[in-house]
Amino acid sequence: MSVEIEDSQRAQRPASLSSGTAGSERQRARARLSSSGGGRPSGAPFRDECTETTAVCEGGAGVGRVWHLGEVVDERYRLLELLGEGGFGAVYRAEDQERGEIVALKVLAQSRLERSARRFRHSAELLCLLRHPAVVAGLGFGRSQGSDYLVMEDLPESYDLRALLEVRGLLPWHAAVQLTSELVSGLQYLHERGVIHRDVKLKNALLTQRGVVLIDFDLAKAIYAESWAEEDSGPIDLRSPALRLALEASESTQLGLTGTPLYMCPERLEGGAATPASDLYAAGLVLYKLLTGQLPHQGSLPQDLRELLAARRQAPPSLREDHGLDVPQALDALLARALSPLRAERYALAGELLDDLGAVLMGGGSPPTPAPPQQDRTLLA
């Protein structure tokens, strides 16, 4: 049994974003990633989907249905390649035999509890309603032989920003700002439609031929979805022995948190609800890490949530004064606001942050003259 979006909706493929100052950077990075062995084919950034820190692991016994390459899911999707697997299940590149298209197919592990399955179905339905160049397109969802699945667009020659940073190293400030602008444009689209991503981080942002694309909507929710309210609230035991592991794990509701603690604002670490503003805080952390290679006040992984929360309650170190980076003062000021320990001082609206990022790009300095525009928008150097 499957649910597919209407043909008219499928036809609304996300259009390309403008290349801005980062186009030539993507060309160089793409070549470097490929030559270093770091290149990954379409959809491959899903490969590490469960390796960082998402709070959602509920356990469960048994491994459930095991799908093999060559098998056909729901009498339609022939599995071609395993792109990634973890506690959540697996992601495959597959052939849609009805349409003759290559897609990405995410299959939920049968060992997941029913609560996780409901969340998966909710996020799948939500994703299939969204269409924006900076948001991965959901094409349909269903259930086959006891396994819930989600069909998504294939993203050839894409890399997550974490892989980019590992291979390329620190980005030029104008390139990092351009990428973050593209990410925030996707968040603006989501927030205007009442959707919170709840897990914005380097690994969930792909650099593709059309620009940055947000992926992994497993934790996304409609802002007014009251049935999920309990997941985002309540006191957190900062001394829990599970905390150290959960900072690096991929899922763990044992903490009472939903998302990745390393990318959370102070109030979320204290058990507060996710909001559009908490997505924007995470976007600020993404920009900070693209520029410095680390998160604020993080020389190494925090020992527990107490240490992480203490760091989040401090103003972020200055790019210019503390890191010695030659960046526009306006960019330093933007990050000081985006990552302020005081909620009232931070960006509440994506459009406001997007405007300030644009202003930095337009007048914040003199980036090198870009190379002639390229046809594709792949990876940034």
Q: Which residues are known catalytic residues?
A: 199
What DSSP line would sit under 233-273, residue for residue? -S---TT-TTHHHHHHSS--GGGT--S-GGG--HHHHTTPP
Inter-residue contact 200 to 259 (CB < 8 Å): no
- Taking alpha carbons only, the member of 213, 266, 288, 284 closest to residue 42 is 213
Q: What is the DSSP letter of 170?
A: S
**Residue among 211, 341, 328, 325 nearest 269 (CA):** 341
Amino acid at 322: D
- Residue 270 near residue 309, CB atoms below 8 Å: yes
Query: Rounded to whole angstroms, what are the CA distances from 104 to 54, 137, 341?
Result: 21, 10, 39
Burial of 196 (0-12, 13-18, 19+ CB in 10 A): buried
Q: Classify 312 in phi/psi space as left (phi over 0), alpha (psi -120 to 50) or beta.
A: alpha
| Residues 354, 191 contacting (CB under 8 angstroms) | no
DSSP label at residue 232: G
Amino acid 281 reads Y
Neighbouring residues of 269: CB distance < 8 A, sequence distance ≥ 6: 236, 257, 261, 305, 308, 309, 312
Residues in CB range of 142: below 8 A, 6 or more apart: 1, 2, 3, 74, 148, 149
Alpha carbon distance 132, 15 (integer Å): 7
H/E segment holding residue 381:
none
- Tell me 371's DSSP state: P
